Amino acid sequence: MPINDETRLAIYSRLKKHLDIHVPPMVVKENVAELTYELSGNKAVPYGHDKKIVPGMYFCSVAQRKDSVVFYFFPMYYNPAMNEVAPALCKCLKGKTCFHFKKEEQVDEKELGALLKMGMEAWKERGYLV
């Protein structure tokens, strides 16, 4: 069921506000007219089976969809224990790293802040941030 434009924009804005706190050191890779927003690390690193150098390791993104606002959080692949830090947010988790929000109250800002902090620490430990 689609959500209205006002709710979608409110959810997107709440998520983006928390991501903006981490710029810098994170780098904005995409910022398209309040529809998508993507962050990555600030250090070129090898990626994939052929170890191709990418300008920054993907960290997270938020995007507006017809029926929800999605938040992709890549550090959760590396540390499934992050689920324990954000139990309310994880109720909206579909798959391993994709959250789907349909209501503003689903975005627990305290848990989101803790999750992003853990992700930043993981990216620093892995050498994805200078």
Each domain of the chain, given as residue ranges in start order, spans 5-124
Determine which helix (DSSP H) or strand (DSSP E) holds 89, and give its type and residue range. Answer: helix 87-90
Residue 40: which of 19, 59, 62 has the closest Cα?
59
pLDDT score for 102? 95
**pLDDT mean over 95-109:** 93
Output the average pLDDT for the chain.
Answer: 91
Task: Say if pTM beats, i.e. exceeds, 0.85.
Answer: yes
pLDDT at 10 over 90: yes
Residue 76: which of 48, 115, 27 has the closest Cα?
115
Which CATH code fits 5-124? 3.90.1150
pLDDT score for 48? 85
